């Protein structure tokens, strides 16, 4: 079974506009489909709601900020498309399984993080990695472009 072209277009749009606000109504207007249809199709094909996919991708991308910078959680949240530190922390905890402060400790000195939290972080990141590989495979499974062959009698 080939991937749905509309879903691939939505995924590409999200990736190109990840750090901007992306309302479902905007996707509906851009792609000229009913928003309920888009939401159902995306969930069925990808396994994430559109909002959950966007938040997961933003959180996942923000993880490297804890390694390479000394930015505050507020700055990280704003840099990665969240409009409040509270919402960022809420989504971070929901997606990664621990608060950003625990992840920061995990990255910078494993001795301060419990074995349970370490396992939660590793399992969450492994799951997201697996999901993104699956989504990449989905994007690459497009149907071949059909070519119309002209019969020799019409040349």
Burial 56-78 (b: 16+ CB within 10 A, else e): bbbbbebbebbeeeeeebeebbb
Tokens of 62: 């923000």
Tens digit of each residue's pLDDT (9 = 90 or more) over 27-48: 999 999 999 999 999 999 999 9
Provide the phi-psi class of 9: left if phi over 0, else alpha when psi is between -120 and 50, else beta: alpha
Tell me the average pLDDT across 94-102. 95
Tokens of 123: 């399992």
The percentage of residues in the chain with a pLDDT greater than 70, rounded to a whole number, is 90
pLDDT of residue 5: 93
Q: How many CB atoms lie within 10 A of CB 95?
A: 18
Tens digit of each residue's pLDDT (9 = 90 or more) over 106-146: 888 756 889 999 999 999 999 999 999 999 999 998 766 65
Question: Quick one: pLDDT band at residue 148, thresholds 50, 70, 90?
Answer: low
pTM of the model: 0.86
Assign domain 5-138 to its CATH superfamily: Homeodomain-like (1.10.10.60)
8 A C-beta contact, residue 25 and residue 153:
no
8 A C-beta contact, residue 30 and residue 13:
yes
């Amino acid at each position: 079974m080939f991937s749905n072209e509309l879903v691939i277009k939505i995924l590409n749009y999200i990736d190109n506009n990840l750090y901007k606000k992306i309302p479902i109504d905007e996707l509906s207007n851009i792609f000229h489909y009913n928003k309920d249809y888009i939401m159902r199709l995306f969930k069925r094909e990808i396994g994430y709601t559109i909002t959950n996919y966007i938040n997961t991708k933003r959180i996942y991308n923000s993880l490297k900020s804890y390694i390479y910078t000394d930015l505050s959680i507020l700055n990280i949240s704003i840099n990665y498309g969240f409009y409040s530190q509270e919402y960022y922390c809420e989504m971070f905890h929901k997606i990664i399984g621990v608060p950003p402060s625990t992840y920061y400790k995990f990255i910078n000195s494993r001795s301060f993080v419990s074995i349970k939290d370490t396992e939660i972080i590793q399992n969450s990141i492994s799951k997201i990695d697996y999901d993104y590989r699956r989504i990449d495979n989905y994007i690459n499974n497009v149907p071949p472009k059909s070519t119309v062959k002209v019969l020799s009698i019409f040349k």
